[in-house]
Amino acid sequence: MKVMKFGGTSVGSEESILSLKRIVEAENDDVIVVVSALGGITDKLIETSKMAVNGNEGYVDEIEAMAQRHHNMIDAIIADKDKHDRLLAIIDGLLEQLRSIYYGVYLIRDLSEKTKAAIVSYGERLSSQIVATLIDGSRWYDSREFIKTTQKHGKHVLDSELTQRLVRETFAEIPKVSLVPGFISSDECSGETTNLGRGGSDYTAAIIAASLNAEVLEIWTDVDGFMTADPRVIHTAYTINELSYIEAMELCNFGAKVIYPPTIYPVCVKNIPIMVKNTFNPDAQGTVIKATVDNDKKPIKGISSINGTTLITVTGLSMVGVIGVNRRIFTALADNGISVFMVSQASSENSTSIGVRDEDADEAVNVLNREFAKEIQTGAMFPMHAESGLATIAIVGENMKHTPGIAGKLFGTLGRSGISVIACAQGASETNISFVVDSRFLRKSLNVIHDSFFLSEYNVLNLFICGIGTVGGNLIEQIRSQYEELKRTRRLKLNVVGISNSKRAMFSRDGIDLSSYREQLEKAEPSNVDHLRNGIIGMNIFNSVFVDCTASGEVAGLYQALLEHNVSVVAANKVAASSDYDSYLKLKETALRRGVKFLFETNVGAGLPIIGTINDLRSSGDKILKIEAVLSGTLNFIFNEISADVPFSETVRRAKEQGYSEPDPRIDLSGKDVVRKLVILAREAGYKVEQEDVEKHLFVPDEFFKGSIDDFWRNLPSLDAGFESRRKAIEADNKRWRFVAKMDRGRTSVSLEAVGSDHPFYNLEGSNNIIMLTTERYREYPMLIQGYGAGAGVTAAGVFANIMSIANI
């Protein structure tokens, strides 16, 4: 014999209720079917009673809407005229009683607990009659005759012994299909209608299964089984095939709504397995809950949470070492029917924090203040302190016992995501770690923990790429071609979860298909920087990196907010690192404080490892004394190209045509780009430098930068003759021009210099860069870094390297 319980959604629609019929009728065994009210009806019954007691006449329409919903259901599923009419008579009889009760409430403006219990009972009484008629040959039972409650601390609790006996008597002989309304019960003394609490139909089914030693208890609901987390919050949650009773109990106690918590105990004691199945997808495997399960080696099985938590702290100096304080706390609370779901006590023993539901908080504070009134009066203890607006989260799994480092991983994940833990507790059984956070962080906490524990066969790095020009485009291609390799060799998944350009942005938690991102972006929603910031922060995604491949000041303006929200930043964009010193410092400090990264290696020398090297030298105790460098690929190209046959203006034109210069070459020729790079290097070397501090010795007079770009091109050849005569002079000396940036113990300058063949910069070819670092350790023979200093491919590779260094945290 099995007991099958169908929840509200399983009887909520024509489609689901017909599926229920098929599932039940396919059974060969005897079955006892327990049903909930039609989905949403219990809530409606409660809301309507509130309207009636408040004198709101709208309650009448609400009753009629409920009546109509039941009528429609019957019309749709019961074809046989006789059965239809007989059922309708029963249903209308019940609805008539319900109308009278509501009318009474409306007239007297009184809604006692007893009346409330009477009202909500109609949900199951109606639904169970409908299902009993739908399933041929089934017999309807009134659960109030055998599910009996008694009063304890003003609450109705099950009288297990009496109930067991009555259930056995009632079902001594059973038909093939028995039909029982869930949730409702009656008081063992007065016989008044009571219930087992919201969600209590699961419990009804478990009590019957346990009393009759059923083979299995099946819970039919609207999801494929017990899942790793609440699927309404975590959309990557997936079904767990097997759970132990202990794991299921821990998860349900902490809010996994799929099974009402008291349900598990009675069947666990009898070793009856529970199957959780989906009425809408009966072929899915579902979840089995039983005593021992195969070890799937996963450290945790699931995550659950309770919002609306209050933490009450009992503290005082007299508590230290005093035996019996805890006993008094828990006895006082238990005597008043207040349940505590989490306790945390520091080993110093001078404070104990207990987690209770918000609705119990005032009462709990009063009870404890009364209990410790004497101690509080003498000053030995402080009055109770309650903190509300919190949420409790639990991670659960029996494998935690055998796996060190779970708590470390949990709290590390939360810390990196900027979530602070207010209290935590782990029992010695090591099957549950629970902790309390501010309610505002509940969703984010669940997301980051789920990502970290369940998607972490691989490390995942989530990237938002802003700018899909040459660098961004190259980067995306490089990520696409390296994706599988990184997954295989580094167990790393580089998930691009957002892509934007100046007009549009798209986001996808599951990762964007990089083979067609341009087409997808064209169809994406219009965006601006505010939208982008809100989208990224709103996604609340774990291990995320914002990659800025633009040159935009507005985009750089987002870094501070993103770092504050624990999003790392990798910038090819030079604006932020070269802006005013205080903003630069604030960004770096924020990254440090939030445990994330702000990296911008490609700001200088494209893919060359310059900033990283400077940082490494400094971290290992070296001091950067001097930097001399050729930092502009464009200018180096120009001064390598210039010759008797190729005048200055022509070299500038070639630099532009061959893609070495900025689209507007004045940015290169004005030295602005080199100044920004030098400022960044000097700062990273440990000196406080602003762009205005750099001494500039330029080679194109200021007035060339004032007019339009056309004026610029027109006027440029007028410089050719002057350049040619100077060129001849340095050629005679066997020297070459280099535009050199210098930093000497914090003093900075840029200038066009003629270097001789003995100088390390003399042979610098094409658009290459070179950086010479004189440090305390590299003093006599400075360190040289040299290579391609420009180009989308190498820059993208440098950005990629920065991203990888974050993945390796």
Catalytic residue positions, numbered? 677
Per CB under 6 A, the list member of 16, 36, 193, 459 interacting with ligand ASP is 36
Return the one option of Mg ion, ligand ADP, ligand ASP, none that residue 242 interacts with (CB less than 5 to 8 A, by type). none
* HSE (side-chain half, CA atoms, 13 Å) at 399: 15
Q: Look up residue 383 and give its DSSP letter.
A: P
Return the one option of ligand ADP, ligand ASP, Mg ion, none that residue 299 interacts with (CB less than 5 to 8 A, by type). none
Per CB under 6 A, the list member of 2, 8, 486, 794 interacting with ligand ASP is 8
- Nearest CA among 544, 578, 583, 582 for reference residue 562: 544
Per CB under 6 A, the list member of 17, 24, 33, 37 interacting with ligand ASP is 37
> Given CA atoms 118, 122, 123, 124 in this order, what sign does their dihedral have?
positive
Write the DSSP string, 667-709.
Answer: HHHTSHHHHHHHHHHHHHTT----GGGSEEE-SS-GGGGTS-H
Residue among 202 and 753 whose Cβ is closer to ligand ADP: 202
Six-digit token pair at 742? Answer: 């210098």
- Taking the complex as a whole, the smallest distance from the CB of residue 147 to ligand ADP amounts, in Å, to 17
Are residues 184 and 125 in contact, defined by beta-carbon separation less than 8 angstroms?
A: yes
Binding mask 295-334 for ligand ADP (x = CB under 6 A): -------x--------------------------------
* Contact call for residue 198 and ligand ASP (CB under 6 A): yes
- Taking the complex as a whole, the smallest distance from the CB of residue 65 to ligand ADP amounts, in Å, to 20
Dist CA 110 CA 710 (whole Å): 86
Helices of type H across 339-405: 358-371, 373-378
Per CB under 5 A, the list member of 12, 39, 123, 199 interacting with Mg ion is 199
What does each C-alpha distance from 728 to 565, 640, 645, 647, 734 come to in angstroms? Answer: 58, 14, 12, 12, 10
Q: Estimate to the nearest angstrom the gap between the alpha carbon of 651 and the chain centroid.
A: 53
How many residues touch ligand ADP under the rule CB under 6 A: the total is 19
In one-letter notation, the amino acid at residue 557 is G
Contacts of 355 (CB under 8 A, 6+ apart): 309, 310, 311, 340, 341, 342, 343, 390, 392, 423, 434, 436
* Contact call for residue 472 and ligand ASP (CB under 6 A): no
Dist CA 403 CA 398 (whole Å): 10
Return the one option of ligand ASP, Mg ion, ligand ADP, none that residue 123 interacts with (CB less than 5 to 8 A, by type). ligand ASP
- Taking the complex as a whole, the smallest distance from the CB of residue 7 to Mg ion amounts, in Å, to 5
Q: Look up residue 664 and give its DSSP letter.
A: S
How many residues touch Mg ion under the rule CB under 5 A: the total is 2
* Contact call for residue 231 and ligand ADP (CB under 6 A): yes
Residue among 199 and 789 whose Cβ is closer to Mg ion: 199
In terms of Cβ atoms closer than 10 Å to its own Cβ (0-12, 13-18, 19+), residue 165 is: middle
Return the one option of ligand ADP, ligand ASP, Mg ion, none that residue 183 interacts with (CB less than 5 to 8 A, by type). ligand ASP
Angle at 593 between CA 592 and CA 594, to 5 degrees: 95
In terms of Cβ atoms closer than 10 Å to its own Cβ (0-12, 13-18, 19+), residue 101 is: middle
* Contact call for residue 126 and ligand ASP (CB under 6 A): no
Binding mask 191-220 for ligand ADP (x = CB under 6 A): --------x---------------------
- Taking the complex as a whole, the smallest distance from the CB of residue 199 to ligand ASP amounts, in Å, to 5
- Taking the complex as a whole, the smallest distance from the CB of residue 355 to ligand ADP amounts, in Å, to 19
In the bound state, the residue with its beta carbon closest to ligand ADP is 7
In one-letter notation, the amino acid at residue 205 is A
Residue among 220 and 639 whose Cβ is closer to ligand ASP: 220
Question: Which span sits near ligand ADP by CB under 6 A: 256-264, 307-315, 353-361, 423-431?
Answer: 256-264
Residue among 410 and 694 whose Cβ is closer to ligand ADP: 410
Residue among 266 and 671 whose Cβ is closer to Mg ion: 266
Residue among 230 and 641 whose Cβ is closer to ligand ADP: 230
- Tell the residue number behind the tokens 């099995």, with chain if given: 2
In the bound state, the residue with its beta carbon closest to Mg ion is 199
* Contact call for residue 256 and ligand ADP (CB under 6 A): yes
- Nearest CA among 438, 404, 126, 211 for reference residue 309: 438
Residue among 9 and 49 whose Cβ is closer to ligand ADP: 9
Overall size of the chain counted in residues: 809
* Contact call for residue 798 and Mg ion (CB under 5 A): no
- Which residues on adjacent β-strands are paired with residue 155? 152
- Taking the complex as a whole, the smallest distance from the CB of residue 230 to ligand ADP amounts, in Å, to 4
Dist CA 267 CA 276 (whole Å): 14
Residue among 183 and 245 whose Cβ is closer to ligand ASP: 183
- Taking the complex as a whole, the smallest distance from the CB of residue 185 to ligand ASP amounts, in Å, to 12
* Contact call for residue 36 and ligand ADP (CB under 6 A): yes
In terms of Cβ atoms closer than 10 Å to its own Cβ (0-12, 13-18, 19+), residue 478 is: middle
The residue ranges that bind ligand ADP (CB under 6 A) are 7-10, 36, 199, 221-223, 226-227, 229-232, 256-258, 302
Q: Which residues bind Mg ion (CB under 5 A)?
A: 7, 199
